[in-house]
Structure 1
Amino acid sequence: MLKVLIADDSKMMRVMHVRSLRQVGYEVEASEANNGEEALALFEPGKFDLVIVDWNMPGMDGIEFVRAAREKEQGAGKRTPILMITSQSTEEQMLKAKEAGVDNLLTKPVTPEAIGAALEMLLARA
């Protein structure tokens, strides 16, 4: 069972991400958040196998969430793979995401196969 935290202000996108993971063969237990604050309240080091986060959300955005999540992990000895799925795709934005602690970034729209391939790569590193 893959435990996933999905942070996106669009309910439809959260449902699509879960469906995509299931389409590529994963059994998924998903926790959902509408924004970075909700996601951070749910996030604990080692609690999830994967975090999928959007960049643009009201309140705390995806980048702020990633920075705060990585801070929570300091000293815990655990690092949760974070996949950002976003419409942000300039080189500068990709660098900003990587510097914040994003492990992989996919640009919308994404296919289930792209999510599956990114997940396989992230889990192989973990």
Structure 2
Amino acid sequence: MAVVPPWTRTKAMTTDEGFHGVSVLVVEDEAFTRMVLVRMLSGLGVTTVHQAGDGGEGLAAVAAHAPDLILCDVEMQPMDGFAFLRALRGGENRRHAGLPVVFMTSRADEDRLAEARACGADAILAKPATPDTLRRALRERLAARVVG
């Protein structure tokens, strides 16, 4: 499985991972999946991984920690990934509106891609994520920071 999108909002991929000093927020309602993602990210060298169990907790975590990138599940309750991203991109506090957001979903159909694009997602990562797909997503979405 790979990072899908038919669109992109970032610079070209770099070959140097350089994830030291990177902070990622994982917004995922399934505790086991969250734990697996945290371990994979740590294994890739991500220095700091914050966690949230739904979109509401995710918004609070963004305000508290200002991560470099957000990995966000789409199917969550009570606030799903789409509502989370709309609130992040359109909220009163514009400071974090431009953070790269990678959606994670097991359903990457055309309707889901269209809604993700409309919300302002930077990419969709097909579940289940693997270290390779996470590495690729991080490289593509953090290209400006990794190169700089």
TM-score bin (small chain): 0.7 to 0.9
Q: Quickly say closer, same or farther: Cα 1:31–1:22, change in 2 above 3 A.
A: closer
Query: Are the equivalent residues in 2 in contact too, given 1:8–1:33 (CA < 8 A)?
Result: yes
State the AA in 2 paired with 1:33. Answer: A
Structure 2 residue 36 is the aligned partner of structure 1 residue 16? yes
Aligned residues: 125
Once residues 42 and 49 of structure 2 are traced to their aligned partners in structure 1, the CA distance between those partners, rounded to angstroms, is 11
- Where has structure 1 moved over 2 Å in runs of 4 or more? 72-78
TM-score (normalizing by structure 1) = 0.87
Residue 86 in 1 paired to residue 105 in 2? yes
Give yes or no for contact 1:5–1:30 (8 Å, CA) kept in 2: yes
Label 1:78 to 1:71 Cα distance change in 2 as closer, same or farther (>3 A): closer
| Cα deviation code 1:65-96 (max 9, x no counterpart) | 01101123764386111111111210111111
Instruction: Structure 2 unaligned segments of length 5 or more: list them.
Output: 1-20
- Structure 1: which 5+ runs fail to align? none
Q: Does 1:101 align with 2:120?
A: yes
Query: Identity of aligned pairs, percent?
Result: 32
> Which has the higher Rg, Structure 1 or Structure 2?
2
Structure with more contact order per residue of length (Cα contacts < 8 Å, sep ≥ 6): 2
Q: Which amino acid aligns with 1:122?
A: R
